Structure 1
Amino acid sequence: MVFRTLHDLDRTAGTVRLVEVGSAHVVHKAGTDIVLVPQPSSDPNDPLRLPQWRKNVAFSILCTFIFLVNFAIGGLAPAFLVLSEEFDKSIPVTAYLLTYCILCLGLGNFFWVPSAIYFGKRPVFVLASGLFFAFTLWTAVATSYETLFAARIISALAGGSTEALGAAIVNDIYYLHERGSKMGIYMVALSTGNAIGPLISGFTVTAIGWRWFNWIATILCGITFVAVVFFVPETRFERQYDRGIAESEDGQEGESKTAAVEVEHVDSHADASIPARKSYWKQLSLWSGVPSDTNFFAIFFRPFPLIIYPAVLWGVLSYAMSLVAVVAVNDLNSFVYQVAPYNFTAAINGLINIPSLIGNLFGCFTSGYLLDRFAEWRARRNDGIFVPESRLPLVVIPGVLVPVGTLLFGFAAEEKMHWAVGYVGYGLVAIGLSATANIAMIYVMDSYYPVAAEALLLVNGFKNVVAFGFLHGIVTWVGESGYEAAFGTLAGLYIAIIGLAIPLYYFGARIRRHTSSQWKLINWAL
């Protein structure tokens, strides 16, 4: 068993030159002084060299897939009161239709990501999207609580492929200066699935029944499965990561000696070592080989030591608490507003997802496009050098608004305040699922780019496990302690975890240098 440091893969430790004028040694974004990070290789099959339209089509399909996973899984919540009566189950047991799915969405990552690293990302997405379609269909024809529960669990396990692998594919095909914007759009798809699903479900359940919501999800999933088969290529690629301007051992910046290449024009006949460009159909092959220097079980266990890296651990906890806050409201709001004194129908209750949708969009803007522009601005003020910690200050936005929203919903539910108070609270809470989660994942990707898939596996896998631990008992907790105490505690925990971004901002670069060069925890093989 061989252990290596991250420095063996990438000597930059995440600190790179993003802005440089007048250099012939590195490739820039056309017409700008923005350095392309990572630098594209001379291989015409490098996913960074895919035509922009193919990147955007594949990315759009990934966004649709993750939208539908959250649409179908979270969308059934407004029907919980109806389902509890139809299947004669208690409220806590009915809520398992969501809470156990949250757990399985995370656990699925621990199978799909190692499989994608070993067999390739494309075959995993094709298989996972096919399974998700099949078992979403099963939820539409389920005739008992047990069969509905089983179908949703298996579909959640299949849907678990979307979060870590989707983000990893974004990492494969887009550059650092695009990463925030693209991940912002990706998080829009994820978070709006959680908002639009219950919104549509509320009206559907009221008008024609809960099964028809599942039929709508099934049809959309079937169309997406076909799109995955024909338009999402393989993006796995063996890359040299330390090109461009990197941080040297003494903390100063120095230029890599690796020669740059032209991005758009590569003559594959000029050098016999450069492979020919694959045809469209070859790029859609479900087989791209397996690593010769390791095996599946080594890859399965390889990510776990990364959990002690501070950026990864903070990413897990901050994303988890954002998810807990959102799903807690989503899990409980029908039990607040569909009974006295409100007595809302499922359709009217579903309108709570309109402020949630607005909050998600605001959060995605602050952690997407604005995050990229902020990072570029900080790099220009730092002599062109980008450090991952430069993105962290924007976490102050959800760090203030999410606890306020959590308290608003908790107090409104406990004191039976006007319904608008709780609705506005949910809108503020929803900012966290998009903004905090996106900043956390991008910070991890920037810090540990060569092992981004493994690191994102831990963030997306464990955050669901942590969230499940809270949500499994949320109904009982609220019943015993009340909404004020429960949601007040959630607000306090969120503030404490987000506050850890402060020491990361000041000491994160030093920690990354040390862990990258001294900790032999990664890239090991049997």
Structure 2
Amino acid sequence: MPSTTELPKEMLAARAHGGSTEVHLDTIPLPEIGPVDVLIKVAAAGLALGVFANVKTQRYKHTPTVLGHEVAGTIVAIGADVSSASLGDRVRLHPNLSCRQCKFCVSDREQMCPDAAMMGFLGFGKGEQPLFEKYHNGGLAEYVKAPYWLIDTIPENVSFDVAAKVQDLACAVRALKCADLQPSSTVIVTAATGSMGVSTLKLAEFFPIGRLILVARSAERLREVQRLSKVPTEVIALDELGDWPVTNGLVRRLREIAPAGADAIIDYMPGAIGTDIWQVMVGLGYGGSLVHMGGNGTLLPLPVVALMVHCWKIVGTRGNTRSDTKFVLDKLSDGTLNADELPSHLVVPAGKNFTKRQSTIMTLHSIHDIDHASGIFYFVGGGQLQHQKGTEIVLIPQPNENDPNDPLNWPTWKRHAAFWSVLVFAGLANFCVTGLAPAFRPLGMQFHLTEFQLTWLISITSLGMILGCFTVAPFASKFGKRPVFLVSASVFFACNIWAASSKSYMSLLLARLFAIWSAGCSEPLSMDIVKDLFFLHERGIQSGVLGMAFILFSTLPPLVCGFLIETRGWPWYHWLVSIIAGVDLVCIIFFVPETRYKRNLHALDEAAVPVENVDVTPPSKEDLEPHMSHLEQQQAFGSVVAKSYMQQLKPWSGTDPDSLLYAFIRPYLFLAFPAMIWTILSFAIHVASFIVIVTITPIVLSNPPYLFTISQQ
């Protein structure tokens, strides 16, 4: 195996495994190449976001398999029979496998081959593609093996990052060719802010297009995309439209822009979105073409007579051909096409390889389980990234534009109301631990207690805090944070009333234990709720506020409560906590909906529009009645109806498939990391020292020679 340098025996690769819904970063042997193969050192690689759905549904026949079908890099080894490539060549991988013999393959239509498959993706054909068995591994690795006929030389002026985007650009070329455009055509592009939509926009100048109409959800993202166009372009932002009927919304807007109808619709709506296409088809003119390349699984209740009356053509296509990729590479080479601003799925940017540190982390977690904030390894979605309004700050994680129930889409006041309600609860838990210390003298006299018994009134709450963290907080991962907060805050409120009414030492001791046991979960969950409610760039401030609150609620009680206990008696300390806890319980009930949200950190959220029953004429109710039940069940573009305020007040939001037992065990797994052990010990020493000081101070200062009063302690 001739090579430029000594090659490693192993490499890192992101793989899907049989029987697993996770993607793992594994250490695997370096691929062995055959006589007709080349070995490419990957410089840039990516994949379509539909891959994750395929992994979750375990659709891969050949497992484990390396993902990634958008690949560019350098040839580092070649097979004995390869004469058309040389070591050191900069190449991109054409991932489309085919039989190379059928009528489609020999006529530059290999994407239609019955045995078509795609490296790092799936086999689309009717049977097993022999080449797919051999070359099913993709390029999301340090090296990838491929047959020599599936490589294209990259022009010198084209970077690896851009070369990896050729796959999307070539697919857009295929869609435009299928539209059979005539001079000065008007073309509607759906999902226009995604990678395929933007690719079509960038290529429009090379086709007989007189005007583009871009349809997507976000007006802000559409404006960003529109500026890239070199042909006249109009945009329709669905989040600025009213609902159907024809007098309003998308149908009316399309008819205003193109009264005679468009010459073609390039539809990139993915299957995960699942929309009714009728609202867009109303804009298709006589003799127009509908080209679909999104994988949308929605039924199309189209009367066949409409095809005849309107002379429509409906074309489905997938992938691209070698002539499509050559078209793109030629345009990139002569500088007439600039793909630098194209959104991508890039995972390994040029010049930045996997590291062993990443491998260590990824063996413990699913890619989907790692938050973007980790900074270790994550996939970037294929659409235009969402930014904070009026700034260049990228929102991490990306909010789900199509779901108003996503906590990151809540109004700022609502997010802060929930955060501060939980913050006060967590602060009260610390307040309840230390505030009773100045009452040691009156308590000792009332209940005839020794100093050892008095110290237990503080120590028992520390035990309760530990129990709350490890025995109550894990329920939130299974049942949600809202029910845990509601139950914990209610028990905390009741136990403080119990403590204030206690007539014996043991009653007071147990009341304080159960109060802090119930509220102990508030510390870890309040930190977790910061992640639920705020973007990465906001979490620093909110975490700082939370940390300051913990400190103030721990250190101020002995100072403040000394005066209260001296003037009103020790029960009033717990009455004060009960009053504040009662008010905060009301706030939690009304201002803290469930913040747990199953977020796909790598999904691309595209345009959305409410689904209604729209026909190209439009149809009468009688015409569509057979399809009504189906259409009414469709969610347009993946949009979700916002929960009403009363629905958000429900204490229960269902359970998570996460194992409850594993939720209890998971915290102890961090002990495998020395850095975590050091952090835990240093924090524990700090807290223990503070508790010792708070506990001993009133005992020492109330006795000779100091004889401090309660308020002086």
Could you list the per-position Cα deviations for residues 400-443 of structure 1 after superposition, in whole angstroms to 9, with x for gaps in the alignment?
xxxxxxxxxxxxxxxxxxxxxxxxxxxxxxxxxxxxxxxxxxxx
Tell me the equivalent position of 1:30.
389
Question: Does residue 203 in structure 1 map to residue 563 in structure 2?
Answer: yes
Q: Which amino acid aligns with 2:488?
A: A
Tell me the equivalent position of 1:455.
none
1:92-491 matched pairs, under 5 angstroms: 92-241=452-601, 243=602, 259=604, 269=611, 271-292=636-657, 294-349=658-713
Query: Does the 8 A contact of 1:26 with 1:260 survive in 2?
Result: no
Query: Does the 8 A contact of 1:101 with 1:156 survive in 2?
Result: yes
Tell me the equivalent position of 2:409.
49
- Could you tell me how far 1:210 is from its partner in structure 2? 0.5
Higher strand share: 2
Q: Which amino acid aligns with 2:398?
A: Q
Query: Does the 8 A contact of 1:268 with 1:274 survive in 2?
Result: yes
Q: Which amino acid aligns with 2:433?
A: I
- Could you tell me how far 1:310 is from its partner in structure 2? 3.8
Q: Which amino acid aligns with 1:171?
A: K
CA distance in 2, matches of 1:320, 1:336: 24
Q: Which amino acid aligns with 2:570?
A: W
CA distance in 2, matches of 1:321, 1:39: 38
Query: Does the 8 A contact of 1:7 with 1:13 survive in 2?
Result: no
- Could you tell me how far 1:234 is from its partner in structure 2? 0.2
1:313–1:268: structure 2 CA closer, same or farther, 3 Å change rule?
farther
Q: Which amino acid aligns with 1:332?
A: I
- Could you tell me how far 1:11 is from its partner in structure 2? 8.4
Greater shift, 122-131 or 103-112, is seen at 103-112
1:31–1:344: structure 2 CA closer, same or farther, 3 Å change rule?
same
Query: Does the 8 A contact of 2:489 with 2:585 survive in 1?
Result: yes
- Could you tell me how far 1:144 is from its partner in structure 2? 0.8
- Could you tell me how far 1:115 is from its partner in structure 2? 1.0
- Could you tell me how far 1:267 is from its partner in structure 2? 5.0
- Could you tell me how far 1:286 is from its partner in structure 2? 1.3
- Could you tell me how far 1:306 is from its partner in structure 2? 2.5
Query: Does the 8 A contact of 1:97 with 1:149 survive in 2?
Result: yes
Determine helix, strand or coil for the equivalent of 1:84: helix
Determine helix, strand or coil for the equivalent of 1:302: helix
Query: Does the 8 A contact of 2:432 with 2:516 survive in 1?
Result: no
CA distance in 2, matches of 1:289, 1:216: 35
Tell me the equivalent position of 2:293.
none
CA distance in 1, matches of 2:454, 2:582: 27
CA distance in 2, matches of 1:170, 1:28: 19
Could you list the per-position Cα deviations for residues 459-508 of structure 1 after superposition, in whole angstroms to 9, with x for gaps in the alignment?
xxxxxxxxxxxxxxxxxxxxxxxxxxxxxxxxxxxxxxxxxxxxxxxxxx
Could you list the per-position Cα deviations for residues 136-162 of structure 1 after superposition, in whole angstroms to 9, with x for gaps in the alignment?
000001011100001000001011121
Query: Does the 8 A contact of 2:438 with 2:561 survive in 1?
Result: yes
1:144–1:240: structure 2 CA closer, same or farther, 3 Å change rule?
same
- Could you tell me how far 1:102 is from its partner in structure 2? 0.7
TM-score, structure 1 normalization: 0.58
Q: Which amino acid aligns with 2:384?
A: H
CA distance in 1, matches of 2:448, 2:484: 38
Tell me the equivalent position of 2:127.
none
CA distance in 2, matches of 1:210, 1:218: 13
Tell me the equivalent position of 1:507.
none
Which structure: larger Rg?
Answer: 2
Gap runs ≥5 in structure 2: 1-18, 23-362, 612-634
Bigger RCO (CA 8 Å, 6+ sep)? 1
Count of residues paired in the alignment: 327
Quick one: percent identity of the two aligned structures?
A: 34
CA distance in 2, matches of 1:331, 1:180: 33
Higher helix share: 1
Query: Does the 8 A contact of 2:606 with 2:637 survive in 1?
Result: no
CA distance in 1, matches of 2:682, 2:398: 31
- Could you tell me how far 1:31 is from its partner in structure 2? 2.0
CA distance in 1, matches of 2:431, 2:444: 21
CA distance in 2, matches of 1:336, 1:182: 38
Determine helix, strand or coil for the equivalent of 1:103: helix
CA distance in 2, matches of 1:278, 1:89: 54
